[in-house]
Amino acid sequence: MIEQNYLQPMKLSNTIMNNNAYEIILIGTRTIKNVKCLITNTITFCPITHTLEGIDSFIFTSRYAIQSLLESASPLSPHYNPHLTKWREIPSFVISPKSAELLYKHNARVEFVGQKAHGKEFAKEIIPLLKNHSPLYFRAKEIISHLNTTLKNAKIPLQEAIAYVNTPLILEQNLKPKPQSVLIFTAPSAYKSFVSSFGWEDEYIAIAIGKSTLSYFDSTTNAHISPKPSIPHAIELAKSIALELNTQNTAK
């Protein structure tokens, strides 16, 4: 497996306006410039050993799966798989425009881009398009959407390749955000890891990047969903919520 060493926990800064001011924290597997981030999970790429024999299409539901394929397809990689040399010529069905950007960047053939960026809806979108196709699904070791089962139940002759593993971190308690925090969760795994390490404060406000993540929140959570399933849109929503709350607190 190929460990992504740049995905490490970030210590949270204590430089805030005051103890009652709400601050924004992005929670998941990556860091974003100019945003306070808390890494709750690490991503490990797995060598892809599939020969692509009998495969005429690809399915991607994550940028990490694409990055893993790029790693195994690179002649410079210790896990280089020469069978992947012509992977760019095989049409890809990808869950979101953001993931599609990475494929376009590497001159891959993008056949379809999902409009909902949600596993169950993506399945409905691609089932009619995959009739008479033999797709290979590059996936995480553990998945929550059950996309594979849905496609197989639709009589799609799906094959699967484990492209990466998402592993929760054991986080130190000094990394726990203060109660006055707007927390952006980029995936259900981030939420599960966060709650496992820190529990949940009633004052927390949670923002889900998409429907799958929202569905994992406790029913009592003060929760919001990003207007579009992207980190920039989620950050803008968080900023507006924090600004409103901080303005209210200042007026008291």
Query: Which pLDDT does position 115 carry in this prediction?
Result: 84
Q: What is the chain's length? A: 252
Residue 15 has what pLDDT? 39
Do β-strands 41-45 and 159-168 pair in parallel, antiparallel, or remain unpaired?
A: antiparallel
Backbone angles phi, psi at 137, to 5 degrees: -100, 115
Closest alpha carbon to 227 in 242, 238, 216: 238
The pLDDT value given to residue 132 = 94
Q: Which tens digits make up the pLDDT trace of 152-176?
A: 999 999 999 999 999 999 999 999 9
Say which DSSP state 156 is in: -
What's residue 18's pLDDT?
60
Task: Determine the distance from the C-alpha atom of residue 219 to the mean position of all C-alpha atoms in its chain, rounded to a whole number.
Answer: 22
Task: Compute φ and ψ for 235, nearest 5 degrees.
Answer: -65, -40
pLDDT of 12 reads 45
Burial bucket for residue 105 (CB in 10 Å: 0-12, 13-18, 19+): exposed
What pLDDT shows up at residue 19? 66
Looking at residue 82, its pLDDT comes to: 98
Look up the pTM and report it: 0.86
Q: What pLDDT does 6 receive?
A: 35
Q: What is the mean pLDDT of each run of 10 residues along the chain (252 residues)?
A: 42 49 96 95 98 98 97 97 98 94 98 85 95 97 92 97 97 97 96 97 96 92 94 96 90 70
